[in-house]
A and B are shown apart, each in its own frame.
Chain A
């Protein structure tokens, strides 16, 4: 039965349903409510797990790494600078191929200091070797979190569930919480094959010389590519249990015959979905939700975009000096493809800037240019800047 829940509360309950044995986290806005709620579940005796209060995000990730390496189902969560402080450990977790799940409550990265939502933090660690799944709403966040443990444990890769800070974490909405039976059936107790065990000692994290490093990297890259099948099957199987699906690698909606596609990720999908209905005069569009960013779903993307003349890529982060991050990857995916759509790339909603419904007709208008727009911050107001910086 659906109920009204704040996003963070729903996420905490979803984590509890997954029966983690160790949770370690350090509070940072807007992730704090998730861990506060987990902590309350533990204090109330509703969740039996080791909750480790640490002094920094570096330690939070390290404790989770140690716990998972020892065979526990572990969890952590962070945002923004917290993700960056974790970044060394995030690379280690992935490189050591330790299955772990974390939530990134997406927030801008300073400077300038901002506590508001964009996705620069998870994009900053996109090359750490984690699976990254982005959620359009809190229901998706709950379902993806449960799926994440199965994906992590079957692929021996860590999974980061990216949930827009405030916009999702602090919003109360209708959410259907799965039952413990449903989650237990989907997520049986886990036995990590390489778990640290004092009876059978092994070393992990040892020095790898140049004659094996390339092979380790290849293996890790291949593991991420192979994980696509697990991501899709977790979504399929969870749909059988719950009746809900997140869209696997890519979710597609809107007008299937449209010539213009709009690709984005995270909570902006909801605004665009309503906007498609509110502004029919702006023209038909296909709405493509990039649910899985790592591994990058090249084949699914090409298939989805067949027949499009224009593809507008909308993202919540950028690589200064280059431009869009996702835009660049989407363009690379189309390299050498005949009849590829014209690709326009925009960053929007940086540092909490509102993304209004009328962004949709404005984007549709912008895409009518003679030559495609390589990259622009769509909602920038240049008049706020001195002439030389425009």
Chain B
């Protein structure tokens, strides 16, 4: 019976997995970099998709540049390799754009979302790359009272991509936060979502999805 059971389990993977969307999140140790990845993966799960999140493996310290990764797909997948060519980058701190390698490996046509008070045009001039900026720290400070960029960035990212619903994001947040903190984060989700165009990075017409 166990043999049959094992064969059935693994046969779920026998089909071609199809697109696995890969996202790399850049931040600084202590900024909630891994938390952002875990919340995004949880949100995808709440929307009945398959997901995985993991930190860059290493000895991390507060303030140092750190990365975390998320994979999202419609079907089960089981790969454990590193994310080399992400379809999207979420950058939690604008200053990280000056760190060499931050935009390395991004798929052609991939999207970059940055926490910054500068305009997207200013950032393009600075880096030569197309990216979308939102002032996530300021927004969080206004609503949460603390400059933690995660919730606003994730809400903006999901609005741009339509990858996972904002309701699912709130459910994902609900696994970490309760009461007033959750309520304020929910408000932050709605505020941040208004700051970016809806669906311009939609998976269906996005080159990074190829």
Enumerate chain A interface residues (CB-CB to B < 8 A): 2-4, 6, 29-30, 115-117, 136-137, 164, 166-168, 170-174, 232, 235-236, 238-240, 243-248, 251-253, 267-271, 273-275, 277-278, 352, 354-357
Contacts and interface: CB of A to CB of B under 8 A. Distances in A.
A274 B10 contact: no
A171 B53 contact: yes
A3 B78 CA distance: 16
Interface stretch (B38-46, B101-109, B115-123, B193-201): B38-46
Most buried by B among A3, A170, A355: A170
A277 B16 contact: yes
Contact of B13 (A6, A247, A273): A273
B78 A273 contact: yes
Contact of A278 (B1, B17, B50): B17
Given A4-B41, A4-B42, A271-B79, 8 more contacts: A166-B54, A173-B51, A173-B52, A174-B50, A245-B6, A248-B2, A251-B10, A277-B15
Contacts of A243: 5
8 closest A-B pairs by CB: A270-B78, A245-B2, A166-B57, A245-B5, A274-B79, A171-B54, A253-B10, A236-B2
A272 to B, nearest CB: 9
Interface in B12-69: 13-17, 37-38, 41-42, 45, 50-55, 57-59
A88 B45 CA distance: 44
Contacts of A352: 57
A33 B103 CA distance: 30
Interface residues of B, number: 36
5 contacts: A136-B78, A166-B57, A247-B6, A273-B13, A354-B84
Contacts of A238: 2
Given A167-B80, A274-B77, A278-B17, A116 B2 contact: no
Contact of A172 (B3, B6, B10, B53): B53
B59 A115 contact: yes
Given A253-B10, A278-B17, A172 B57 contact: no
B85 to A, nearest CB: 11
Contacts of A357: 79, 81
Contacts of A268: 80
A174 B15 CA distance: 19
B209 to A, nearest CB: 16
Nearest to B54: A171
Nearest to B37: A172
A116 B41 CA distance: 23
Interface string B70-102: 000000011111101000000000000000000
B7 interface: yes
Nearest to A253: B10
A331 B11 CA distance: 29
Contacts of A275: 79
Contacts of A236: 1-2
A172 B80 contact: no
A377 to B, nearest CB: 18
Contact of B3 (A30, A245, A277, A356): A245
A274 B5 contact: no
A235 B2 contact: yes
Contacts of A253: 7, 10-11, 13-14
A239 B8 CA distance: 12
B18 to A, nearest CB: 10
